A and B are shown apart, each in its own frame.
Chain A
Amino acid sequence: MSFGPFLLLAVLEGTVMAAVLALTAVGLSLVFGVMRVVNVAHGEFYMLGAVLAWFVTYYLPFPPLLAWMAALIIAPVLVAAVAALTDVLVLKRLKYNPEATIMATIGLLYMLQQAALTVYGPDARPVVAPFEWRIQLPWFGYSGYKLFVVVAAILVLMAVWWVMTRTKAGLIMRATQVDRDTAQTFGINVNRVYAGTFAFGGALAAVAAVLIVPIQQAHYLMGHDPLLLSFIVVIIGGLGSIRGTLVAAVIIGLSDGIISMFFSPTLAKIIATLLVALVLVFRPQGLFGAKA
């Protein structure tokens, strides 16, 4: 394949990566922005979403499209429930102390991982794609499902944007993000907001996983990469800034896709990590974050 088509393929792969990464990272960014909690277990919510999607599509006696659509509803709801429970049982009791919650979510990471290993097993298992559709370009054929993933992720991100900027729930979350104490003096139950935000963040990671799991296989260790890349994206974009997170997800997703195809995935991770180091040195608040 000549350079031009190869670059196009790399860009397409990078776009899919960017779309899924944006969904995962927005969840992480929302949680940090509103709650000031660095959720180290965010990648495990992603893994849990993928594993639950496998269970739903495997055990429900539906055709692939219906089974996958059921997974798209059931997995995020269950992950959101796990996240909300974590908030109430663990984070709230730690009074959302930043250091303590980091340790607690590290513990949660291993608990979820080991639970998945015990129940689901060590194997990587595929989820059948909801539809088979191939776009034939002049130079190569490309999966229509992958393009669907991009469109679906954009739609979900637009919905998140709409919720945050146009609804009462979003207004309450943004007010709580700005000033928790003052929010309470206007009748906002911040405990409920925190539980809802943590659940919402977890659900977004699960949606990303259900979208990607027909392309990648579900595996109990699959949360590592999304967690690392989400942190990279959130730091580059600016902690708590959704706009910054989206821009950084596109940058990192595309560069990861392109560098992975032309060189190696390891080099892509090295460059992304180097970019984080540069941002932390020269613009610690990130591209779109507010100065402390």
Chain B
Amino acid sequence: MLRVDGITAGYGPVTILRDLSFKAEAGQVTCIMGRNGVGKSTLMRAIIGLVPVQSGQITLGKVALHALPPHQVPVQGVAYVPQGRRLFGPLTVAENIEIGLLARKKGPQRRDYVLDLFPRLRERLDQVASTLSGGEQQMLAIARALCLEPEVMLLDEPSEGLQPSMITLIHETILRLRESGIAIILVEQRVDSVLRVADHVAFMANGRVETVVPRSDLAPDSMLFRDYLGV
């Protein structure tokens, strides 16, 4: 289980997250929702180690992630699919996958497993990543993260800018990953997406998680969506 206990974090003198706490269980999808600028992406970047934690703790099992240098966090089994994908654009699909395999020293078996999940990528292994379509780029971003064989997966708005059929594919992939026992933390703005895949929804405001609600307690017209997203 990944626990975030009372963290304060930000960029230089600017504090974005304030005394933020929540947890993500194995085999569950925890969605993070909130208006633009509340710190959802900063939270993801703090968990993966790219934003320094000023106080509080982030732990995965007994490992204190916040105390590790950034490059050691993925070695513990935390994978990150950033907003905007951030592929290694000039590198080929095969090379992006290869980078994903490095941190936890995974071999051809893992590579094949990931490419079986996204057969379209197998057809484009020698293609430069930046020339893929938006949907294919998102597939590659997820595939590259899955190469780590992660215990925790952070997905920051994976459906952003994608056509509906591709969003459905991403949802199906998330649900399959959940079944395999991965703890998934998903930043998402789309209510329909959240209602489809989430087990819990954490609503953020002012740099804090203010409430965590089970999916079963939410409906498309719930007041919480109106209060925290303005929809």
Contact = CB atoms under 8 A, between A and B. Distances in A.
A174 B71 contact: no
Interface stretch (A186-194, A195-203, A205-213): A186-194
Given A175-B88, A175-B91, A179-B88, A187 B50 contact: no
A186 B102 contact: yes
A184 B86 contact: no
Interface of B: 48-50, 69-75, 79-80, 82, 86, 88-91, 95, 98-100, 102-104, 144, 148
Given A185-B70, A186-B102, 13 more contacts: A168-B98, A171-B91, A174-B90, A182-B88, A183-B99, A184-B49, A185-B49, A185-B74, A186-B99, A186-B103, A187-B71, A187-B102, A187-B103
B71 A179 contact: no
Interface residues of A, number: 17
7 contacts: A174-B95, A179-B86, A185-B49, A186-B74, A186-B148, A187-B102, A188-B71
Contact of B88 (A178, A187, A189, A190): A178
Contacts, number: 62
Contacts of B104: 187
Contacts of A184: 49-50, 70-71
Given A184-B50, A184-B70, A178 B89 contact: yes
Nearest to B49: A184
Contacts of A183: 99
A35 B35 CA distance: 35
A184 B95 CA distance: 16
Interface string A154-194: 00000000000000100110110011011111111110000
Contacts of B48: 185
Contact of A186 (B50, B69, B89, B144): B144
Which 10 residue pairs of A and B lie closest in terms of their CB atoms, listed nearest first?
Answer: A187-B103, A184-B70, A178-B88, A189-B71, A182-B86, A185-B80, A187-B74, A184-B71, A175-B88, A186-B99
Contacts of B82: 182, 185
Q: Is the contact region of chain A dominated by helix, strand, or loop, or is it mixed?
A: helix
Contacts of A186: 74, 99-100, 102-103, 144, 148
Contacts of B95: 171, 174-175
Nearest to A179: B86
Contacts of A182: 82, 86, 88
Contacts of A175: 88, 91, 95, 99
A182 B50 CA distance: 9
Contacts of A172: 99, 102
Contact of B102 (A168, A178, A181): A168
Contacts of B74: 185-187
A187 B78 CA distance: 10
A172 B71 CA distance: 13
A121 to B, nearest CB: 44
B50 A174 contact: no
Given A184-B49, A184-B71, A187-B75, A171 B103 contact: no
Contacts of A179: 86, 88
Contacts of A185: 48-50, 70, 73-74, 79-80, 82
B102 A188 contact: yes
Contacts of B73: 185
Contacts of A168: 98, 102
B198 to A, nearest CB: 24
A91 to B, nearest CB: 18
Given A184-B49, A184-B50, A185-B80, A178 B71 contact: no
